[in-house]
Amino acid sequence: MIYKRKTTAQKQLQDLINIEYANSWQSFIVSEASSLLYHGGVNRNALDKQQILQWQEDMVRLIFQLESSYENIAKNEQKRNTLIICDRGAMDPKVFTSSEDDWNTILKSLGKTETDILDEYKAVIQLYTAPKEFYCLSDNPYRRETFAEAKVINAHYEQIWKAHPTFFQVDNYDHNVKSHLGWDEKCAKIANIVKVILDE
């Protein structure tokens, strides 16, 4: 069994839309903001508390700016609807913000509430961390967490997004047959969720 990165799932989803919904939908993928910033050479572990707080605020701002760029294109599309697939959402930086007070400081600076952020998204799909035997750091140069740490972070993501009215989770296990899902099965679950949304 092979597990791949979520960026692969996004591309497979985009390919599906381009084939099955070509006449009615176009799709864009918004890149992961943190990877763009890390690519510039910042070592997060070397930042002090104030720098990290500013980093998290700027991360949210960048996520919104990236999303806005695609939304502006979509607003002027006359022939098709547009699905914007976001690698990360603007609530995600909360997981890496050191305290609730710091997060509230960021929200105040942005002039937003958590409800405002949740309302930006039609649906949220959380992909679970790959099973331990398939989890690795080599396929992503910006991934720093051990498997145990990734599991904790995964639980935090669930906590911050579960208030969204259209929140889905795609784990690695089929509880009906009591076995792990393969990559194709996992992607099929994602595709089925998105198809329901597109067909509404």
Higher pLDDT, 174 or 145: 145
6-198: CATH topology is: Rossmann fold (3.40.50)
Quickly count helices (H) and strands (E) in the chain: 7, 6
Question: What is the mean pLDDT of the segment spanning 137-158?
Answer: 71
pLDDT of residue 199: 87
pTM of the complete model: 0.83
- Give me the amino acid identity at 71: E
Please state the length of the chain.
200
Question: What is the mean pLDDT of the segment spanning 81-95?
Answer: 94
User: 162-192, pLDDT tens digit by residue?
Assistant: 999 999 998 765 555 555 666 778 788 889 9
| Residues forming a β-bridge with 170 | 127
Question: What is the mean pLDDT of the segment spanning 119-138?
Answer: 74
Chain-centre distance for alpha carbon 183: 18
Looking at the predicted structure, is the pLDDT value of residue 198 above 70?
Answer: yes
| Tally of CB atoms within 10 A around 40 | 6
**Are 151 and 108 a contacting pair, CB within 8 Å?**
no
pLDDT of residue 127: 83
Burial class of residue 79 (count of CB atoms within 10 Å of its CB; 0-12, 13-18, 19+): exposed
Question: H-type helices in the chain, by residue range?
Answer: 6-20, 33-38, 49-75, 100-110, 114-118, 147-161, 183-198
Question: Nearest-5° angle of CA 67, CA 44, CA 37?
Answer: 30
Residue-averaged pLDDT of the chain:
85
In which band, very low, low, confident or very high, does the pLDDT at 45 lie, cut at 50, 70 and 90? confident
Domain boundaries, the chain: 6-198
